[in-house]
Amino acid sequence: MQKKQVKFLLIAFAIFFISNATKAQEYGTGIGLRIGSFQNGITIKHYIDDQNAVEGILGIGNGAFVVTGFYQRHADAFDLDGLMWFYGIGAHVGGVSNNNNNNSKGLMLGADAILGFEWLIPEVPISLTADLHPRLELLNGALLGLEPALSIRYTF
C-alpha cells in the first residue's frame, strides 16, 4: 500500500470515529459464553454509559487459564437497530501448564485490544458479538496472537 493510501485510510477512519453519533445501548449488563479459536470461557459486559463499557473474560484452553479485562467504546453500525461496533484496550493475566510449542509452565501477562460488532436482538434479551482480539504476551518472550471469537450473552 502506498503512503497516500495509508494516509487516506487513517484520516477516513479518524473522521468515522469522531463523527459517528451513538445512542444508548438498550441494556446495562450481559453475561454469557465466549467461543474463541484459542480459548473458550465466560464473558460479562457492563455499560458504564451510552458509549463506554467494561468487559471481563474468564478463558480456558490450550493448557491455560486467563483473566482478561477490557475498556471499550461503542458506536452505532450501519444504521441498523441494535447493531453496534466497538473497540477497546485491556490486559490479561493467567497461568499456563503447558505450551504446545515448548511445554513451558508459568505466569502469563500481557496487553490486549479488541475490535468487533455487537447485535442486541430486538425483543429478546440476548446479544451476539463477533470480534477480533489481538494480544501481546509479555512474560514468556514477546508473542503476538490474534483470536477471532463469538459471544452470546443474556442481557438485563
Q: What is the pLDDT of residues 50-86, one digit of tens each?
A: 999 999 999 999 889 999 999 999 999 998 989 999 9
User: What phi, psi does 22 have (nearest 5°)?
Assistant: -125, 160
Predicted TM-score (pTM) of this structure: 0.79
| pLDDT tens, position by position, 103-118 | 567 899 999 999 999 9
Give the right CATH number for 25-155 from 2.70.50.30, 2.40.160.20, 3.20.20.60, 3.40.190.170.
Answer: 2.40.160.20
| Coil vs helix vs strand at 31 | strand
